[in-house]
Structure 1
Amino acid sequence: MSTDGRIKKRFIAGARCSACQAQDKVMIFIAPDDEWIECVECGHTERRPKTVVSKGFFDAVHKDNSESEQVNVVQLRSIR
């Protein structure tokens, strides 16, 4: 990232706009404290979220780990 405060602009090869589905028309703009994409075809913009939180995700995944986990091994045979 540039330290002089300028915004870097780059096209994202192969990217499709989520609004109009135009391919190779999406640019990424990178500023020292921000980042967003913009479609040059339809003008649609999206900003990268500052934080990502999935409510309840870690509660569901990381339950009480005191239970033992069982691991099974399956042997594969060659079909030749």
Structure 2
Amino acid sequence: MAEARVKRRFVAGAKCPECKAMDSIVLFKVNGVETVECIDCDYSEQQPDEKVAKKATGDVIGVFKP
């Protein structure tokens, strides 16, 4: 069985907290876990849906504090 492709979206104006590169952060979700990664370095951070839902206010889809 082929593995499903994960849709990655760039976060406009986001700066990587490690390498400080601008517009290099991508956001994607796999099995209910929201992940951000930098395409320029090895930075990665994950949050399960429950944690994202607690921080979301209604106007925001998800909240990441890099």
When the two structures are superposed, what TM-score results if normalisation uses the length of structure 2?
Answer: 0.60
Higher RCO structure, 1 or 2 (CA under 8 Å, sep 6+): 2
Unaligned stretches of 5+ residues in structure 1: 53-80
Unaligned stretches of 5+ residues in structure 2: 52-66
Secondary structure of the equivalent of 1:18? coil
Q: CA RMSD in A?
A: 1.9
> Following TM superposition, by how much is the alpha carbon of 1:49 offset from its aligned partner in structure 2, in angstroms?
5.1
Aligned to 2:18: 19
| Residues 1:28 and 2:22 aligned together | no
Letter in structure 2 aligned against 1:19: E
C-alpha separation in 1, matches of 2:33 and 2:50: 13
Q: Answer 1 or 2: which has greater helix percent.
A: 2
Q: Answer 1 or 2: which has greater strand percent.
A: 2
Secondary structure of the equivalent of 1:48? strand
Q: Which has the larger radius of gyration?
A: 1
Aligned length: 48
Letter in structure 2 aligned against 1:20: C
C-alpha separation in 1, matches of 2:22 and 2:33: 24
